[in-house]
A and B are shown apart, each in its own frame.
Chain A
Amino acid sequence: MEEKDLSIEETLKELESIIEKMEDRDSSLEDTFALYESGMKMVKACSDKIEKVEKKIEILSEEGQNGQF
């Protein structure tokens, strides 16, 4: 679970650098488009990483089993 979380942060950093590269006037249209595509994929991945289901709190019993609040 920790790796997934780090990758949201890292993904956001990557996206920042992609946007910077896209602003470079000298890059070719193909490169820019490749950056755009990969950037959009990453944004979607970030969004997907959060499972959009509202979750109820889990309560453990003494033995570590789950219950509901």
Chain B
Amino acid sequence: MASVYSVTQVNSYIKNMFVQDFLLNRISVRGEVSNCKYHTSGHIYFTLKDKSATLSAVMFAGQRRGLDFQLREGQQVVVSGTIDIYERDGKYQLYAKEIKRDGVGDLFERFQQLRNELEDMGMFAAEYKQPIPRYARTVGIVTASTGAAIQDIMNISARRNPYVQLILYPALVQGENAKYSIAKGIETLDAMRPDVIIVGRGGGSIEDLWAFNEEIVARAIFDCQTPVISAVGHETDVTIADYVADLRAPTPSAAAELAVFDYRQFEEQLQVIREALTRGMERSLERKRYQIEQCRMRLLMHHPERKMNEYRQRLTDMEEQMTSVLDRRLLDRKHRLALLGGRLHGLSPLEKLSRGFGFVTDEAGARVESVHGLEPGQQLDIRLKDGKVTTQIITITG
């Protein structure tokens, strides 16, 4: 009977085989990336596949230095590391120490090389970058005459400002001769002196976009007098043209937005300015009118007629005062007169007469005050209040 082993023993045995195998300890495997997952821990789990087989792979967080690009589904790569078995589940895996791009890896290295070269020459330097004009009236475009790129640019441009003049140089944007076509396009348009030039194309693989990594294109952009906006591929595609250009747009549509100003906004801005000027003018006039009104009122305050009226008023007041003083004095006098008159009247002999007293005179009219010198039979006149009585003395007593 054959020996019976435990699972652990079998897995351990197989593990040993892996450990002792020189080839598997250090192996480079070429394949296509699929099922790529970036774990939060920093480990990357993926599968390498070719036409007929798949192989599980992992790059642990500690090995991440061996990867300098974003690993993605569909990429052709060369993974270097160890193939080993995880004893616990008996599954074998490729433990990656280094991952490089393949097939296009060659191209990618060329890209990096040229990029570094041109950067060292200073072609990407900020001091060579020109600002993109804000109110461009002619826009040159170097791109394919068919395809989404030119359509997008045309649509967005028309929407923002239908009065802008677009000039298209229809270029080859991929293939062997693309670089010559693109460079010639840039030169031709530059000679026409538009306000800005857009250079680009729609999305594609690194091979499709390769023309925009060529040195001849980079130089054409660098030597171009007109400001250049590069718009190659999608947002994540970066080419050398993007580094050299005065401005990089992530897509052709974005390039159109950057190159073409919004006409409606421009008109609105002018309208706002017109209104501000008018308001400023109106305020100034208002201020002056106010100042004039102030002066007018002050002049009126000092008008001669006003002075005259004032004087008249004062005269009238004085008149009144005088009249009132005189009237009072008059009244005063009248009162005193009446008083004195009353007193006089009280002291008047005629008053005495009215109280029953008589005024006695003799025939000669002389006043008689005493009985002395009077004789009976003498005639006396007695004046009473309402008449005179002639009397004769009968007897005298006293």
Contacts and interface: CB of A to CB of B under 8 A. Distances in A.
A55 B162 contact: yes
Contacts of A23: 280, 283
Contacts of B133: 2, 5-6
Contact of B281 (A4, A36, A54, A69): A36
B166 A57 contact: yes
Given A1-B195, A2-B133, A58-B167, A64 B188 contact: yes
Contacts of B136: 5
A40 B164 contact: no
Contact of B193 (A2, A19, A43, A59): A2
A57 B167 contact: yes
Given A1-B137, A5-B195, A60-B169, A22 B288 contact: no
Contact of B163 (A53, A59, A66): A53
Q: What is the size category of the interface that chain B forms with chain A?
A: 35 or more
B134 interface: yes
Q: Identify which of A9, A52, A59 gathers the most chain B CB atoms within 10 Å of its CB.
A: A59
Nearest to B227: A2
B277 A36 contact: yes
Interface string A41-69: 00100110111111101111000101001
A23 to B, nearest CB: 6
A60 B163 contact: no
B392 interface: no
A65 B287 CA distance: 61
B173 to A, nearest CB: 15
Contacts of B285: 29
Contacts, number: 101
Q: What is the size category of the interface that chain A forms with chain B?
A: 35 or more
A33 B183 CA distance: 54
B13 interface: no
B277 A22 contact: yes
Interface string B186-206: 001101011100000000000
Contact of B277 (A8, A18, A66): A18
Contacts of B145: 59
Contact of B165 (A9, A18, A49, A58): A58
Given A1-B194, A2-B193, A29-B284, A60 B277 contact: no
B138 A22 contact: no
Interface string A18-32: 110011010101001
A58 to B, nearest CB: 5
B135 interface: yes
A32 B191 CA distance: 45
A53 B193 CA distance: 20
Interface string B270-303: 1001101110110111011000000000000000
A61 B103 CA distance: 36
A39 B273 contact: yes
Contacts of A46: 270
B390 interface: no
26 contacts: A5-B133, A5-B135, A5-B137, A6-B133, A12-B273, A19-B277, A23-B280, A25-B287, A29-B288, A33-B281, A36-B277, A43-B270, A46-B270, A49-B137, A52-B163, A55-B162, A55-B163, A55-B166, A57-B166, A58-B165, A59-B168, A60-B167, A60-B168, A60-B169, A60-B189, A64-B188
Nearest 3 Cβ contacts at the A-B interface: A22-B280, A32-B284, A57-B166
Given A5-B135, A36-B278, A59-B168, 12 more contacts: A1-B138, A1-B194, A1-B195, A9-B134, A12-B269, A22-B284, A43-B274, A46-B270, A47-B267, A50-B263, A58-B165, A64-B188
